[in-house]
Chains A and B, each alone.
Chain A
Amino acid sequence: MTKEKPSPLKPSRLWKAGILLAFVVFLFLFPRMSSSNYIVSIGVTFCTFACLGVSWNIIGGYAAQISWCHSSFVAIGAYTGFLLFNHFGISPWISVFAGTGISAVAALIIGSISFRLRGPFFSLCTIAFAEIMRVWLLFQKNLTQGANGLVITFKQESFVNLMFRKDDAFYYILLVMLILYMLISWLLQRSRPGYYLRAIKVDEDAAESLGIKTHRIKLFAFVLSAVMTSAVGTIYAFFLTYIDPASISSMDLATRIGTMAVVGGAGTLFGPMVGALALVPLSELANVLLGSSGSGMLLYGGLMIIVIIFRRGGIVSLFSGDGAPVPALLKKLRGKGQAKNGGDSGA
């Protein structure tokens, strides 16, 4: 019936590229804009949660397999990094690989057990794993100090050991990671697994009866997602310098990670980052204004419900796709402007 023409794509694509470039430049200049270490630390939190959201999105967004154990992968990365550093003086740049390795194996096991069955089975398995992980960390007192948590003591400024006097360095490291993660996500979207995941998300029976090995693709996505999450965990832990099961291996954190992607737009390239961009400053503000760290969670829960009820596609869906209110509004405004100009701007 209607044949969409490709012509209006070009300027909008140019616009998108321009906005993206400006945003990247802004992100790189961000720490220079304020002398406050607190502001920079919010930047670090943004980069961290954007990275985590992008990672979660690979299994939770593209494949719509909701994971509740991404905090466990953060914890694996964090604890591996701390333990190897404290006991053997191993640089986090090396222990990052140990952490990702362990996370990959964990994801492989959870996935192999649960992906054979459909429905909520995967989600339930991740909840079980998250609880096992948290309890295990609490009770392995010799290794993890249980609820007391682990500390890294600052010795001297060192890139190798991820010790910095100011948070700028962490900010840039995590920003580079974010760009890398976005790149991975973008590549995934355009490659075979990305297409298969989107088909699996809609209809596993159809996908499978057309030859797609759904089990294997989901497993791949979950392992990739776990590995990416775990790597962020190691770096982020060195920024925090203190970790304990309650903060780093909690359902709270798992929920926060998923919320980034869902609020921003699950299953989209920019969704998780946009989600982090909106949520991290907001929850920081809520904490300052309302004075407790619980208010942040309330905010997450509330926004999540609003998104699920009113706009499944999340924030990014306001700007893209059919029926998006923002482009429609712009078009309207532009249309009016042209009418006023007498319509001489034809070409």
Chain B
Amino acid sequence: MAAILELKDLCKSFGGVHAVNHVSFKIEKGEILGLIGPNGSGKSTCVNLISGVYKADGGDVLFEGKSVIRTSIAGRSRMGIGRTFQSPKPFTGLTVFDSVYTIAMQTRSYKEASKISGEILEQMGLSQYEKMRCEKLPIEKRKWLDMARVLVTRPRVLLLDEVMAGLNPNEIDESVALVRRVNKSGITVLFIEHVMKAVIKLCSRLVVLNDGRLLTSGDPDTVMNDPKVIAAYLGRGYHHAEND
């Protein structure tokens, strides 16, 4: 299988914090790759580097073999790199429908855009909220709206940053099914999540970050039982306990 996305020796620091420290890994075409790690390990920073929201200090991002490190944020989106934000970013003031419609009309006629927006919202179970202003949407639905918006851009690879945080077990099952459906439709997924149940259900491979460095990678079983990984998560726990 060919890599659709490749991170090569990526670096990003904020002041003295090495948020992402020489990280390299590949995302294979068609897979759901899980990116996990304790809080502050650099997962979201990776997503921001891949989508261009942050400028990398060093290293490269290859999309389908070509470097996109100099491509603009919008350019990367148009090439097929889609993402959601860890904290949802609704277009306040616009209706739920219009926020999807706005994005959909970029590459379609108004009529087509309107049609596809309706369809996507239906798939996301948001039809009943269409006319609601999106800032009034219940918190857990906002992630779905973000997802709907990015899906109408027809991404080739989708970076999902904790779309399941704060959902109840039922909703998590629904979302797992949804992500699987998205993947089946031919979209490669980079899946960042703390909800391990979902990670294990969905991902065929995991990459673990810790303190901005790549800790390990491999199939979920091996990774989850890796003493280094357990230590990374537990270590955090101990630290927290000590600080409390």
Contact = CB atoms under 8 A, between A and B. Distances in A.
Interface of A: 1-4, 192, 195-196, 198-199, 201-203, 205-214, 267, 322
B92 A202 contact: yes
A2 B96 CA distance: 14
Contacts of A199: 91, 94, 99, 102-103
B116 interface: no
A210 B132 contact: no
Closest 4 A-B residue pairs measured CB to CB?
A: A206-B89, A211-B77, A195-B102, A208-B73
Given A192-B105, A195-B105, A202-B93, A212 B53 contact: no
A218 to B, nearest CB: 12
A268 to B, nearest CB: 11
Interface of B: 51-53, 72-74, 76-78, 82-83, 85, 89-94, 98-99, 101-103, 105-107, 128, 131-133, 138, 149-150, 153
5 contacts: A201-B93, A202-B89, A202-B90, A211-B106, A212-B106
A199 B101 CA distance: 11
A203 B73 CA distance: 13
A210 B103 contact: yes
A3 B128 contact: yes
Contact of B73 (A195, A209, A322): A209
Given A192-B106, A208-B77, A214-B74, 20 more contacts: A2-B132, A4-B132, A195-B98, A195-B102, A198-B91, A199-B102, A201-B93, A203-B92, A208-B53, A208-B72, A209-B53, A209-B74, A210-B82, A210-B150, A210-B153, A211-B103, A211-B106, A211-B107, A212-B74, A213-B74
Nearest to A200: B91
A210 B149 contact: yes
A152 to B, nearest CB: 44
Given A202-B91, A202-B93, A203-B91, A209 B102 contact: no
A267 B94 CA distance: 12
Contacts of B105: 192, 195
Contacts, number: 76
Nearest to B83: A209
Contacts of B107: 211
Contacts of A196: 102
A211 B52 CA distance: 12
A211 B153 CA distance: 8
Contacts of B51: 209
A196 B103 CA distance: 8
A196, A198, A202, A211 — which one has the most chain B CB atoms within 10 A of its CB? A211
B78, B90, B93, B105 — which one has the most chain A CB atoms within 10 A of its CB? B93
A214 B98 CA distance: 18
A106 B153 CA distance: 34
Contacts of A211: 74, 77-78, 103, 106-107, 153
Nearest to B101: A195
Contacts of B53: 205, 208-209
A126 to B, nearest CB: 24
Contacts of A192: 105-106
Contacts of A2: 132
A202 B32 CA distance: 31
A208 B131 contact: no
A1, A196, A199 — which one has the most chain B CB atoms within 10 A of its CB? A199
Nearest to B95: A4
Contacts of B101: 195
Contacts of A210: 77, 82, 103, 149-150, 153
Contacts of B89: 202-203, 205-206
Contacts of B93: 198, 201-202, 267
A205 B98 CA distance: 18
A199 B103 CA distance: 9
Nearest to A203: B89
Contacts of B92: 202-203
